Homo-oligomer: A and B are copies of this chain.
Amino acid sequence: MTDTYNRPSVAKPVNLGSSAAGLAETWSARVAGAVNDVLVKVARIEGDFIWHNHPDTDEGFLLLSGDLVLDIREDDGTEHPVTLTPSDFYVVPRGVFHRPRSANGATITLFEAAGTVNTGNEGGSLTAPVDRPLA
């Protein structure tokens, strides 16, 4: 991934906060960089996403601004909310069903494997293009 996203001679820092805040669409992450096989993405979100999982990758969430709750479904079927405040980082392990939601809107950074579909195997209208770079 290094060759695709990071070029030492020309790459510039990406401001995650302003990049995320400037996105026109919600729930449609854009790639800001890559660390080995893990992509670093920014997104702007608002409202409820759908329950889904990613069988083959952990998914890290960093809340940049606003409010974010990750509903988590345990292996035994019980569910509980994980509430983040700005600068909080949380990892949803691979395979674990989760539902992100933001009552009043948020900007976030995501960390996950390249090729990850935002809705997992659930499909639906919230499914976004995979691994789109920032403009």
Contacts and interface: CB of A to CB of B under 8 A. Distances in A.
16 contacts: A2-B58, A6-B58, A8-B72, A11-B91, A13-B90, A14-B89, A15-B89, A16-B62, A17-B87, A33-B89, A36-B57, A37-B37, A37-B38, A38-B111, A40-B89, A64-B87
Contacts of A15: 85, 87-89
This chain's copy number in the assembly = 2
Interface size class of A (residues with CB under 8 A): 35 or more
A15 B12 CA distance: 26
Contacts of A7: 93
Interface of A: 1-2, 5-9, 11-18, 32-38, 40, 57-60, 62, 64, 72, 74, 82-85, 87-94, 96, 109, 111-113
